[in-house]
């Protein structure tokens, strides 16, 4: 019986190490990893500063992906809608619809951009949340079958640095 105990410990250690290796394989050599949406329909590549929200729909009950970068004070919330459910409207029309819904906010700018051959719209605005000024970037983009709205909340006012990273993350979106 005493000889079986080390064997059990060894086998559980091997299983634990194997599980860790499987998780680490999802990371690439640049310290990046895929985060899947809650519904399993999409994935994006984030760097190792980002963490998936600990509780599903912690920041918004309708989101299908939430990630947080505590180091830089950035929240990333994604919402997706089927193009079919929206009568196959254009990306521009979808963006206009979203902008109309935030009409009362202090919109700073709204532009169409292209990142790694992906067209998207980005709208920058400020709003208060619990007496704290929050800088928002609202992205509208599409994949083959879906439109996506991504709300990025920045506590620190370093829009230039963060927008480059967010643009790169969004350019990696893919349907699964």
Measured CA to CA in angstroms, residue 87 lies from 26, 57, 83, 125, 140 at distances of 36, 27, 6, 28, 17
Our count of domains for the chain comes to 1
Q: How far apart are CA 176 and CA 84, in angstroms?
A: 17
Report yes or no on 7 lying in a domain.
no
Report yes or no on 6 lying in a domain.
no
Position 92 scores a pLDDT of: 94
Report yes or no on 100 lying in a domain.
yes
Structural domain harbouring 94: 30-175
Q: Residue 163: which H helix or E strand, with range?
A: helix 159-170
Q: Which residues, other chains included, contact 41 with Cβ-Cβ below 8 Å and sequence gap of 6+?
A: 64, 80, 146, 175, 176
Position 100 scores a pLDDT of: 87
* CATH number of domain containing 116: 3.40.1000.10
Position 128 scores a pLDDT of: 81
Report yes or no on 115 lying in a domain.
yes
Report yes or no on 62 lying in a domain.
yes
Position 156 scores a pLDDT of: 67
Report yes or no on 21 lying in a domain.
no
Position 118 scores a pLDDT of: 87
Position 150 scores a pLDDT of: 93
Report yes or no on 157 lying in a domain.
yes
| Best CA proximity match to 107, nearest among 123, 121, 119, 95 | 123
Position 29 scores a pLDDT of: 55
Report yes or no on 15 lying in a domain.
no
- One digit per residue, the tens of pLDDT, for the chain of length 176 reads 444 444 444 433 444 333 333 343 445 556 788 888 999 999 999 998 898 877 787 778 889 999 988 888 889 999 999 999 988 799 999 999 888 888 766 788 889 999 888 899 999 888 887 888 888 899 999 999 999 999 998 876 667 778 888 988 999 999 99
């Amino acid at each position: 019986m005493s000889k079986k105990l080390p064997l059990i410990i060894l086998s559980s250690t091997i299983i634990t190490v194997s599980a860790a290796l499987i998780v680490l394989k999802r990371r690439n050599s640049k310290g990046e990893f895929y985060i899947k949406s809650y519904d399993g329909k999409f994935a994006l590549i984030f760097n190792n500063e980002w963490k998936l929200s600990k509780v599903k729909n912690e920041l918004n009950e309708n989101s299908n992906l939430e990630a947080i970068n505590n180091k830089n004070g950035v929240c990333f919330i994604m919402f997706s809608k089927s193009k079919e459910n929206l009568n196959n409207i254009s990306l521009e029309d979808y963006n206009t619809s979203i902008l109309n819904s935030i009409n009362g906010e202090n919109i700073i700018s709204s532009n169409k951009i292209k990142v790694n051959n992906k067209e998207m719209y980005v709208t920058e605005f400020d709003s208060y949340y619990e007496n704290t000024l929050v800088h928002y970037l609202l992205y509208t983009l599409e994949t083959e079958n879906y439109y996506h709205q991504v709300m990025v909340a920045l506590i620190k006012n370093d829009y230039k640095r963060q927008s480059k990273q967010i643009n790169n993350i969004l350019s990696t979106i893919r349907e699964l």
